[in-house]
Amino acid sequence: MSLDPHWFSTVYGLLFMVGQVLSAMSLVIVTLALFGEHKPLLDVTRPSVVHDLGKLMLAFIMLWAYLNLSQFLIIWSGNLPEEIPWYLARLHGGWQYLALLLVIFHFLLPFLLLLSRDLKRHARLLALVAGGVLVMRLVDLFWLVAPNLQGGHGEHAQHGLSVHWLDFVVPIGMGGLWIAAFARELAGRPLLPLGEPELTEFIDTPVHAGH
């Protein structure tokens, strides 16, 4: 939001935080699917656990969509000259197609898929949905940031959509460095909480009893 000093929204901060939580939740699910078939996560990666993670991701997807819709409706109904240019810049010149992609692949498709109980209890299928959400999180951030960087600010930010090769290379490069650091830390730390009595009880519970 600071890229456009003339625009403000009381919803934006919470919307950004929910998006980051959704990114973290998606990463947790992908990580669990990658390592859940090996010790020690094998003992806890049960359908009931995967199901709970799927329900949490569904909840944050719905909250992200609700906050986006709330912000849009408030600004659209207010129709104030200091607020509407932000959306005008993102709903014209090709940017509206990215907005449509976000509606379909960041909300509608994951929402419909996560309504399935069977999918939410299958780690690999849930990880595919989570991976798709992570990709759309990058698209969402690009849609939020790039119009101001490419076309000025406020009412002057209504330029057509253009994509630079750095828009692909920078996320891959920075993401690769972050994943390498994450993997290094993951390898040097216990994957399960040590000394947690409820964890011991959970592991000792038969799978059929814990569903």
pLDDT, tens digit, for every residue of 39-69? 888 888 899 999 999 999 999 999 999 999 9
Residue 184 has pLDDT above 80, yes or no: yes
Asked if the structure places residue 85 within a domain, the reply is: yes
Mean pLDDT confidence for 20-27: 96
pLDDT at residue number 151: 60
For 143-171, write each residue's pLDDT tens digit.
999 998 876 444 444 468 888 899 999 99
Give the residue from 25, 120, 29 showing the smallest Cα distance to 64. Answer: 25
Asked if the structure places residue 53 within a domain, the reply is: yes
Asked if the structure places residue 189 within a domain, the reply is: no
Asked if the structure places residue 6 within a domain, the reply is: no
71 within 8 A of 11, measured Cβ to Cβ = yes
99 within 8 A of 26, measured Cβ to Cβ = no
Asked if the structure places residue 147 within a domain, the reply is: yes
Residue 178 has pLDDT above 70, yes or no: yes
Percent with pLDDT over 70 in the chain: 93
Asked if the structure places residue 17 within a domain, the reply is: yes
Asked if the structure places residue 21 within a domain, the reply is: yes
Mean pLDDT confidence for 12-38: 94
Residue 191 has pLDDT above 90, yes or no: no
Q: How many domains does the chain have?
A: 1
The single residue listed with the structure tokens 């690009």 is 142
Residue 209 has pLDDT above 70, yes or no: no
| Non-local CB neighbours of 58 within 8 Å, separated by 6+ positions | 110, 111, 114, 115, 120
Write down the H helix ranges in 84-165: 84-90, 95-101, 109-113, 117-120, 123-151
Backbone angles phi, psi at 101, to 5 degrees: -60, -40
Give the CA diameter of the chain.
63
126 within 8 A of 54, measured Cβ to Cβ = yes
Asked if the structure places residue 128 within a domain, the reply is: yes
Mean pLDDT confidence for 4-19: 91
- pTM comes to 0.88
